[in-house]
Structure 1
Amino acid sequence: MYNALMGTAATTAVGAGLTLYYLEKNSAHANMEAEGLHPADYPFPQKKLFGTFDHASIRRGFQVFKEVCSACHSLDLVHWRNLVDVAYTEDEVREMAEEFEYTDGPDDKGEMFERPGKLTDPIPRPYANEEAARAANAGALPPDLSLITKARHGGVDYIYALLTGYCDPPAGVEVREGLNYNPYFPGGAIAMAQNIFDGVVEYEDGTPNTASQIAKDVVTFLNWAAEPELDDRKKIGAKALLLFSSLTLMALWIKRNRWHTLKSRKIAFNSPKNWNKKPNPPSKN
């Protein structure tokens, strides 16, 4: 009876946990527009247990960021050197950096001067400060994209759904002037206009430049910007799993084949034959 009750309790607890997990992942309620639609689970390779980044996609994604996103968004935590041996060669990155002018100094005369960019410089910002960014975007502040895939619930799935989810508002929903309707954005009205279209960039490697491909590539790049250590982390994790699995098997083998004599030994005590015999009385002589 006790075992049956414990089994029933364990089954109920596991079932309740699975139900709550399902409802959390597939929530549906009347206030979904206020919180934004939950994005679908897109098959990005880096999301798999042992999946890694598509580095060709990172290269294409940086091209999309440079030609489309960098007009409004910054990437403050990424420097030119971070792109070396990830998506570009050192010479390619150095050439891209030199296309921009950076203020440096002071020089020997105590004055600031302009110089071409170098590998240690950060990716240039589109605006000098926050006030300039708001003034150019009708009061809205474009967020920095360095950690955007980790700063939003849903991660890469949310960013991809947001970039490709623009549509006309449904009947009865009004969007004020200057905003755009996107069901994945909380509230449904977003200041950023749709920027991802078919053919908005021309890929140098001949990859089809459809809107979905462009969105996938820039999201992959932003995911790498937020987690540049992902490939190395998973590589170290795979090595650790292999190492500890081997050590576990070795420990089990030693336990079974080397300790069996110690674990199965029997200690016996044989009493003397005259254990219960009374000692002889002392002699009177």
Structure 2
Amino acid sequence: MDVDKFINDTISFIKDKVRGKGIIALSGGVDSSVCTYLSYKAISDNLYPVFIDTGLMRINEVDEIKKTFKNMNIKIIDAKNRFLSALKGVTDPEEKRKIIGALFIQIFEEVAEDIGADYLIQGTIYPDIIESHGGIKSHHNVGGMPLKYKFKEVVEPLKDLYKDEVRIIARALSLPEEICGRMPYPGPGLAVRIIGEVTEEKLDVLKRANMIVEDELKEYNPWQAFAALIGKGTGVRGDERIYGWIISIRAVESRDGMTADYLKLPWNILDTIRRRIISEIYNVSRVVYDITPKPPATIEYE
């Protein structure tokens, strides 16, 4: 890949496509961040990065976004209640993804109408398209996205790149290393790391468990590492029986996300994670480690 040529060609592509104001779907991950920086170079203050706080993100995500993109026209939309309400009672994974994708577009359209923007820019990459069109799972920005929308055009400057190529571009743009090396995070957020209905209790448990997993495994530099909430099981606290949540730890190595293998983590680190989750989150009854590669599994749970 000729990095300088790609950067210059992409800036020209965005300038040509976006004639006026555009909003960009910003999540804070490397894909949307690279897309945001390239778009800002192309159309400057005509770009409006939009971060939708779905309530399905990591702990402290909003504060990090504000700090990283403070010099741009960033808009933070608090939509936690809207997403939780829309997902109430929904258990099917594909239905979750389509509900989230449709609500994302609806909110982007509302913001665009408010500021007079005709274009939506997205950091879609090639594996998103392959998995959506191949029927593996609908990504919220591809297969989970409604076919009709109010924008003149949806612009996807990175749609031919793999994740490792996006990281190369990020470093060439001198983006902070915490963005360049950031682990992939699903667009639908924790909704696809919760088996079954998404509730506030499950989200609270999972956010805290996920923070522990990321904290303890960062030195191992995984492609992706996270916690998932997969159901309930019987446990014991003191002399009492509890029916608590089951947390699955997932840690994988990969090159492009199309295939992956589980990390062969030392027992002592798994034990440390288990002890922290059980002691810090009272309503968790057990912790397991997922050793399934992709395929046959996917990296995410839904």
The structure where strand makes up a greater share of residues is 2
Fold conserved between structures, TM > 0.5? no
User: What TM-score, normalized by structure 1, do the two folds share?
Assistant: 0.26
User: What TM-score, normalized by structure 2, do the two folds share?
Assistant: 0.25
Q: Which has the higher contact order (CA 8 A, sep 6+)?
A: 1
CA radius of gyration, larger in? 1
